[in-house]
């Protein structure tokens, strides 16, 4: 398979654009619709900006996923940082987002856009988000 | 090494056996053999294909031409160890034959037959030296298997891509967005709505707002028997997204049942402009667009 | 990398070419405010036709611009949102309620005419 994983170091705004463009491209390559590719790019934008704003530096790894069919049917995004961590992950993931009540972390938004979403975070250690989007059909 | 006879053909094998990567010289040797016997082996293969009743959708000329290409690509893949060119060929071959109705088992079948034909040719050539034959097969088999896999998988993937495309086309056909006036489009939805279909409708609608420069959208759900909360949310999202693109949305044909469902689900209906029936919806749309509607007088009845 | 701003009569048209950084968004806001003061503009069109992703940050930036220009008496309308972007935004839960939107430049101008013309 010619598709491979892509790793982007995130530390500036410009890196966010690179990350989401890569995400869009990979989503296209595995057969996602134009709309789904936009969702992936948007979710990446959210978590990447999160890294820049709250951790200062981190990495995003985007890879094609074979979920057992022999073909790449999903895109997986891992966003990792060694920032301050989130003390109350549950509260951060609350949907008070659009009214501004949420902590503005963009994470609940990203979760809404993707098919699977997992987050682990430890204060003083860092945060890791793993999310996937499947191509439809 | 064990004892065995010493035909002249073993000269090459001796060289091979003294080197540690002995089998690496076998592959070029057998590739040369396969090239040398190209004509006969290709014909043998084509014969077997016909015998097995494969590729009946193609004429014998076509079979022969494709057989030639596959054969040459096969041997080249054996030689170079790279399947890239073969992948490329497999894709283009698939593109050509899928519309002809060639099935997966046929493609797999012919590749396996080629494998057999070539293997037998190797058995014949090296029959006097079983040890050598085994080493030749050690070199040949993994490569041959990889080739078979590449072609088969390439074909299947291409087929699936075509099927997906066809499905999308069918979906597009079954849910037309109609432009009825300048700046006004209507989306009549008929039949049950599931989440995937609702999403797909939304995408189509939004694209058509752009294409038709629609200012007003009328979504008619008279033909929708019922909706669940997911679909109800899709509907509201469709309204929101349309407004982001500068279009007003009017929903018509909201049955009492669906209205009740929406209210029960707590869907915020305040932002939804609902009008009883499609006719009323169009009139409302025209009003929004600044058209004046002139009703003709009903004919006298007796 | 600054966003180009054109003056068209009473209105300003800002065309966003690509994703904006934090400082670029601030720059745009300041530039617009400056020009509104200078030209007494009554309306702003922000053209996002070229944007293929709108995340919460971009949405917030546009909202800020709309709010601030309103304080100076100028209405802002965002035009050119791509269908996929509109879809993603509603999925994300971004409502953009208090920001006016229109299909394209032409509609945006018509909107401003209707609002500011008297």
Domains and CATH numbers, chain B: 12-171 (1.10.490.70), 178-289 (3.30.750.24)
For chain C, list residues whose CB is within 8 angstroms of any CB belonging to chain A: 18-19, 21-23, 52-57, 83-85, 87-88, 91-95
Assess whether pLDDT exceeds 50 at residue A101. no
- The alpha-helical segments, DSSP class H, found in chain A are 13-29, 34-50, 89-92, 107-113
Q: What is the pLDDT of residue B162?
A: 78
**B246 to chain C, closest Cα gap in Å:** 4
Determine, yes or no, domain membership for C2.
Answer: no
Determine, yes or no, domain membership for C1.
Answer: no
For chain C, list residues whose CB is within 8 angstroms of any CB belonging to chain B: 79, 81-84, 86-87, 89-91, 95-96, 101-104, 107
Q: In angstroms, rounded to a whole number, what is the distance separating the alpha carbons of residues A72 and A27? A: 10
The beta strand positions in chain B, using DSSP E, are 178-181, 184-190, 216-223, 248-252, 273-275
> What tokens were used for A34?
């134009």
Domain count, chain C: 1
Domain at C68, CATH number: 3.30.750.24
The beta strand positions in chain C, using DSSP E, are 5-8, 11-15, 43-47, 75-79, 100-102
φ/ψ of residue B2, rounded to 5:
-75, 175
Q: What is the pLDDT of residue B189?
A: 84
Q: Among C49, C54, C77, C90, pick the best mutation site for testing chain B contact (most B Cβ within 10 A).
A: C90
Span A7-19, average pLDDT: 94
- The tens digit of pLDDT for each residue in B156-166 reads 888 887 787 77
Q: What is the pLDDT of residue B151?
A: 83
Q: Which residues of B241-252 are buried (b: 16+ CB within 10 A; e: fewer)?
A: bbbbbbbbbbbb
Q: What is the pLDDT of residue B174?
A: 63
Across the interface, which of A35, A49, A108 has its CB nearest the CB of C87?
A: A35
Phi-psi region of B178 (alpha: psi -120 to 50; beta: other; left: phi over 0): beta
What parts of chain C have a pLDDT lower than 70?
1, 117-118
CATH architecture of A6-134: 2-Layer Sandwich (3.30)
Sign of torsion, CA C64 C18 A105 A124?
negative
Q: In angstroms, rounded to a whole number, what is the distance separating the alpha carbons of residues B168 and C103? A: 26
Band (pLDDT 50/70/90 cuts) for residue A63 is very high
Assess whether pLDDT exceeds 60 at residue A103. no
Span A24-31, average pLDDT: 90
Residue B244 near residue B213, CB atoms below 8 Å: no
Percent of chain A with pLDDT over 90: 64
Determine, yes or no, domain membership for C36.
Answer: yes
Q: What is the pLDDT of residue C101?
A: 95
Domain assignment of residue C62, given as a range: 7-116
Q: What is the pLDDT of residue B275?
A: 81
> What tokens were used for B98?
């899928």
Assess whether pLDDT exceeds 90 at residue A7. yes
The region of weakest confidence among A28-32, A100-104, B2-6 is B2-6
What parts of chain B have a pLDDT lower than 70?
1-24, 171-175, 271, 291-302
Instruction: Provide, as residue numbers in chain B, all residues whose Cβ is less than 8 Å from the Cβ of A70.
Output: 153
């Amino acid at each position: 398979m010619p598709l491979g994983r892509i790793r982007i170091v995130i530390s500036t705004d410009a890196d966010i654009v690179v990350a989401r463009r890569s995400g869009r491209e990979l989503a296209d390559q595995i057969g996602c619709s134009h709309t789904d590719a936009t969702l992936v790019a948007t979710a990446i934008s959210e978590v990447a900006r999160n890294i820049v704003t709250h951790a200062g530096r981190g990495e995003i790894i985007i890879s094609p996923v074979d979920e057992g069919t022999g073909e790449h049917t999903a895109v997986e995004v891992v966003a990792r940082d060694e920032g301050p961590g989130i003390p109350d992950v549950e509260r951060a993931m609350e949907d008070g987002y659009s009214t501004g009540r949420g902590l503005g972390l963009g994470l609940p938004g990203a979760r809404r856009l993707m098919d699977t979403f997992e987050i682990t975070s430890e204060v003083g250690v860092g945060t890791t988000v793993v999310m996937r989007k499947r191509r439809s059909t | 090494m064990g004892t065995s006879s010493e035909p002249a053909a073993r000269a090459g094998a001796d060289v091979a056996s003294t080197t540690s990567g002995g089998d690496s010289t076998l592959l070029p040797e057998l590739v040369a053999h396969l090239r040398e016997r190209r004509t006969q082996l290709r014909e043998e293969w084509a014969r077997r294909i016909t015998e097995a009743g494969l590729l009946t959708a193609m004429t014998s000329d076509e079979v022969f031409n494709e057989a030639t290409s596959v054969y040459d690509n096969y041997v080249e893949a054996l030689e170079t160890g790279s399947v890239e060119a073969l992948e490329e060929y497999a894709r283009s071959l698939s593109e050509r034959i899928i519309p002809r109705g060639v099935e997966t088992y046929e493609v797999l079948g012919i590749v396996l037959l080629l494998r057999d034909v070539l293997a037998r040719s190797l058995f014949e050539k090296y029959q006097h030296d079983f040890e050598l034959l085994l080493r030749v097969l050690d070199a040949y088999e993994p490569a041959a298997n990889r080739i078979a896999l590449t072609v088969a998988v390439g074909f299947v993937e291409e087929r699936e891509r075509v099927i997906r495309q066809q499905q999308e086309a069918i979906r597009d056909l079954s849910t037309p967005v109609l432009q009825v006036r300048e700046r006004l489009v209507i989306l009549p939805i008929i039949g049950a709505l599931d989440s995937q279909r609702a999403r797909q409708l939304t995408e189509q609608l939004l694209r058509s707002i752009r294409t038709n420069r629609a200012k007003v959208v009328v979504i008619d759900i008279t033909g929708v028997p019922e909706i669940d909360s997911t679909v109800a949310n899709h509907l509201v999202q469709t309204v929101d997204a349309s407004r982001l693109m500068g279009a007003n949305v009017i929903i018509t044909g909201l049955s009492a049942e669906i209205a009740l469902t929406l209210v029960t689900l707590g869907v915020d209906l305040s932002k939804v402009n609902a009008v009883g029936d499609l006719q009323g919806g169009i009139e409302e749309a025209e009003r929004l667009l600044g058209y004046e509607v002139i009703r003709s007088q009903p004919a006298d009845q007796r | 990398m600054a966003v180009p701003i054109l003056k068209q009569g009473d209105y300003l048209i800002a065309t966003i070419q690509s994703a904006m950084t934090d400082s670029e968004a601030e720059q745009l806001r300041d530039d617009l405010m400056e020009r509104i003061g200078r030209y007494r503009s009554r309306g702003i069109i922000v053209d996002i036709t070229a944007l293929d992703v709108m995340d919460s940050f971009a949405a917030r930036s546009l909202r800020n611009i709309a709010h601030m220009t309103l304080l100076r008496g100028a209405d802002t309308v965002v035009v050119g949102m791509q269908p996929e972007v509109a879809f993603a935004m509603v999925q994300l839960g971004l409502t953009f309620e208090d920001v006016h939107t229109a299909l394209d430049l032409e509609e945006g101008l018509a909107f401003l005419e209707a609002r500011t013309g008297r």
